[in-house]
Amino acid sequence: MKNLNRRRFLQRSGLATTAAFFSGFTNPKKTLAANPKQYLGGFSVAPIPNIRMAFIGVGYRGHGHAEQWAQIAGTEVVAICDLYDDLVNKTKTVCQKHGKGNRHKNIKTYSGNETAWKKMLTEVQADAVVISTNWKNHAPMAIGTMEAGAHAFVEVPLALTIEEMWDLVRTAESTQKHCMMLENVNYGREELLFLNLCRQQKLGELLHGEAAYIHELRWQMEEVERGTGSWRTDHYAARNGNLYPTHGLGPIAQYMNIGRTDDLFHRIVSFSSPAKGRRLHAQKNYPEEHRWNQLEFKGGDLNSSLIKTKLGRTILVQWDETSPRPYTRHNLIQGSLGTLAGFPTRLAFEGGMSGLSDSHHQWIQGDALEKVYEQYEHPLYKRLGALAEKMGGHGGMDFMMRYRVVECLQKGEPLDQNIYEGCFWSAVAPLSEQSVAQDGQVQSFPDFTRGQWKNTAPLAIVS
């Protein structure tokens, strides 16, 4: 199967220009007929004991991915690609440092131009390709990866447009490959605790969630030539909406079983505040003729979007990487019997919780949380938490995610996030932009599962 896919990819890339190669995937109508046999809701593949991993994009995020994945038993780093030679070599060196015997000893490197990744995919037979580039490359690279016979693991957001998301779904289904968006926040200790409490029905019926990515990141504008700020700033200038929704939304969606038996995103409305902070920052910190002072910053500093689900639940999703205020992802989930909230962690239950709070008018928080964790800590965190904290990466959530990917591939089990979840969560960006552009007009979510969500099991409490 793998060889066939690879041959098809080689033939196509040899015969066609890049544009023509990808144009076959751009018509969303072609994806609308669901084929239950190809559906990937609870998808798993045959166990892969030794996972041959390749990395495209080894800047800030991709380097960290490669360095840590190289340390997890059962992986072998086989190729690294980036535009820049120095980044590729730095990542290769760090991976090889973690290799014993022949492990990570034969890493092929690719760099120097925008399409070197295609050469890599034709020359190296990887099992898994991790894509951590600028956003516009996510979808084409993931499609190329799957067509080349490998599973795609893609940084957030999964893709930029709804059309690209349909392209990914169609390619993943036709090639029968994983295409997982790497939403690390779903592996946070607090998020796992909340998931466990929701699954144990401690909140009763879930009614409402609040998600956010509020993180003051104006400093990224220091990166002008290359690095995150060099491309992200252009998005923030040109686009107006919620451009980075998945960190806050992914956990809320899994508490609510969105796309998994219970519920689905239905509609969204979105408004943005005035765009002030980036322009002020540019004027204050850069000369008049600087690139940042030539941009017109159209994206409002704070975006607020409201999702209504099929069941009539609501989810507030906010985004602000500009304003001077402390970090939060909100992480609030409210049900008929209680509310859990993050930043800082607070819990309230109908009638209180024995020994910890007298009533739901009082938060359980601070030192009292230890008792809650003792009783309701997610089993996965119990098993891996100490190691994850030692290994690090956003407090250990990165390690947990990477470890789970390896574990699932090695055991031949479904991944914790399927491709449709990556699409639903990422779709907030383009749909919010459309709503903002239409002065808050309601937008409808596509059903990327084409009705199959009803047959997709909720994410289990993995132990």
Ligand X SMILES: NC(=O)c1ccc[n+]([C@@H]2O[C@H](COP(=O)([O-])OP(=O)(O)OC[C@H]3O[C@@H](n4cnc5c(N)ncnc54)[C@H](O)[C@@H]3O)[C@@H](O)[C@H]2O)c1
Binding region for ligand X (CB under 6 A): 56-57, 59-62, 81-84, 87, 114, 117, 132-135, 137, 155-156, 184, 227-228, 394
User: Which residues are 349's β-sheet partners?
Assistant: 338
| Shorter beta-carbon distance to ligand X: residue 182 or 431 | 182
Q: How far is the CB of 120 from ligand X (least distance, A)?
A: 9
Q: How far is the CB of 87 from ligand X (least distance, A)?
A: 5
| Shorter beta-carbon distance to ligand X: residue 111 or 272 | 111
| Shorter beta-carbon distance to ligand X: residue 56 or 306 | 56
- How far apart CA 118 and CA 370 sit, in angstroms, is 50
Q: How far is the CB of 220 from ligand X (least distance, A)?
A: 8
- How far apart CA 353 and CA 359 sit, in angstroms, is 7
For 285, the 3-state DSSP assignment is helix
The residue assigned the tokens 């985004």 is 319
Angle value at C-alpha 446, between 329 and 204, nearest 5 degrees: 50
The 10 Å Cβ neighbour count of residue 99 is 17
- What angle separates helix 162-175 from helix 419-426, to the nearest 10 degrees? 180
The residue assigned the tokens 């780093």 is 77
β-pair type (265-272, 303-309)? antiparallel
The 10 Å Cβ neighbour count of residue 257 is 20
Q: How far is the CB of 165 from ligand X (least distance, A)?
A: 15
Structure tokens, 214: 């509020």
Q: How far is the CB of 416 from ligand X (least distance, A)?
A: 15
| Shorter beta-carbon distance to ligand X: residue 42 or 227 | 227
Q: How far is the CB of 82 from ligand X (least distance, A)?
A: 4
| Shorter beta-carbon distance to ligand X: residue 68 or 357 | 68
Question: Which residues are within 8 A (CB) of 233 and not within 5 positions of it... i.e. 6 or more apart?
Answer: 220, 221, 278, 292, 295
The closest of 403, 382, 383 to 392, measured between CA atoms, is 403
| Shorter beta-carbon distance to ligand X: residue 84 or 327 | 84
The closest of 215, 182, 187, 250 to 395, measured between CA atoms, is 187
Q: How far is the CB of 59 from ligand X (least distance, A)?
A: 2
Q: How far is the CB of 191 from ligand X (least distance, A)?
A: 13
Question: Which residues are within 8 A (CB) of 236 and not within 5 positions of it... i.e. 6 or more apart?
Answer: 243, 278, 297, 299, 321, 322
| Shorter beta-carbon distance to ligand X: residue 132 or 257 | 132
- How far apart CA 224 and CA 231 sit, in angstroms, is 8
| Shorter beta-carbon distance to ligand X: residue 132 or 309 | 132
| Shorter beta-carbon distance to ligand X: residue 192 or 264 | 192
| Shorter beta-carbon distance to ligand X: residue 168 or 206 | 168
Q: How far is the CB of 134 from ligand X (least distance, A)?
A: 5
For the beta sheet containing 75-81, the strands, ordered from the edge strand earlier in sequence to the opposite edge, are: 108-110, 75-81, 51-56, 128-131, 151-154, 179-181
The 10 Å Cβ neighbour count of residue 389 is 16
Closest residue by beta carbon to ligand X:
59
- How far apart CA 119 and CA 365 sit, in angstroms, is 53
| Shorter beta-carbon distance to ligand X: residue 152 or 347 | 152
For 311, the 3-state DSSP assignment is coil
Q: Each residue of 348-365: b (16+ CB within 10 Å) or e?
A: bbeebbeebbeebeebbb
Structure tokens, 113: 């131009």
